[in-house]
Homo-oligomer: A and B are copies of this chain.
Amino acid sequence: MDFYSTQIRDLVEQLSHLPGIGAKSAQRLAFHILNMPEEQVAGLSGAMLSARKNVRYCRDCCTYTDGELCPICANPKRNHRQIMVVENSRDMAAYEKTGRYDGVYHVLHGAISPMAGVGPQDIRLSELMVRLQNDVDEVIVATNKNLEGDTTATYISKLIKPLGIRVSRIASGVPAGGDLEYIDEVTLYRAFEGRTDM
A residues engaging B (CB < 8 A)?
1-8, 10-11, 14-15, 17-20, 25, 27-34, 36, 38, 40-55, 64-67, 70-72, 88-90, 92-93, 96
Closest to A27 in B: B90
Given the contacts A50-B7, A55-B8, A20 and B14 also touching, CB distance less than 8 Å:
no
Given the contacts A19-B29, A92-B3, A96-B3, A52 and B36 also touching, CB distance less than 8 Å:
yes
A55 touches B14 (CB 8 A): no
Give min CB distance, A15 to chain B, whole Å.
7
Given the contacts A28-B19, A48-B44, A71 and B3 also touching, CB distance less than 8 Å:
yes
B49 touches A42 (CB 8 A): yes
> Oligomeric state, in number of copies?
2
A66 touches B32 (CB 8 A): no
CA distance A42 to B54 in the complex (A): 14
* Complex contacts, A40 vs chain B, CB 8 Å: 17
Give min CB distance, A42 to chain B, whole Å.
7
A2 touches B71 (CB 8 A): yes
| Residue of A5, A7, A27 with highest tally of chain B CB at under 10 A | A5
* Complex contacts, A4 vs chain B, CB 8 Å: 64-65, 71, 89, 93
The 10 closest A-B pairs by CB, nearest first: A45-B45, A5-B65, A3-B96, A41-B52, A7-B66, A11-B51, A5-B66, A11-B47, A7-B51, A14-B44
